[in-house]
Structure 1
Amino acid sequence: MDAAYVFRVRFRLDAEAGVRTDPRTFETVVEVAADDPGEGDWLFFRDALWRGEVNDGHHARELAEGWLSVPVDSVSFRELRADEAYMEALRAEIAADPTPFNADSARETLHKYLGSSIRVEEA
């Protein structure tokens, strides 16, 4: 199984006094490996996203600063990129107990948190 959350991140360089950089800000694509369903931080999508968007910009910037070790100005969610095996396992894990998602099905849960921002790649 393979999956990653993909974000666009704008970060800046905070140089010492007397040091100038040009440009000072940069944008990059950041891919964060998704934990296997039922393991570790597999509920990341529930805790960080809503309708395919970052649900708390401040929290997302803090996460990205930890990932990149630079000051982050903005974070936007792009997609969950996953293979079929990951998506099948994710749907099964959600369907086993959709209660924590305040939803009736895996499909409703995925739409609620990820919107249409899911890209399934062939293995």
Structure 2
Amino acid sequence: MSRAADIARLTIAPLFVIAGTVHLLRPALFEPVMPPGVPHPLLVIMVTGAAELAGAAALFVPKLRWLAGTMLAVYAVCVYPANILHAVRDLSTGTGLGWAYHYPRLFAQPFICWWALTAGGVTGGRRS
């Protein structure tokens, strides 16, 4: 396992633990940003929180690490529409978090995907 993967794992896993915990303990925060048409939004929020926690933990299990990094990156892609909707709603009403939050958040998504892949040992051409 490379040093970069070790650092990525030690830095991204806590963020997914925090996000997953907030999803499970405060799901109402996420309901307004669920894209229309998502069935059973509360259940989806709870499942995504559990997925974040499971993915973060799996990054520390060598046999699951590659899959965890891959799935966390896929997860980051899948939640991007909710991030966009959140930004549009907040910025159009002026009642939300504003550009200082949304601009970096929206443009950080590819980095988050790369970070998860690195944490899982997916990048660098060898499986770990």
Fold-level similarity (TM above 0.5): no
TM-score by length of 2: 0.26
Give the number of the structure whose residues are more often helix, by fraction. Answer: 2
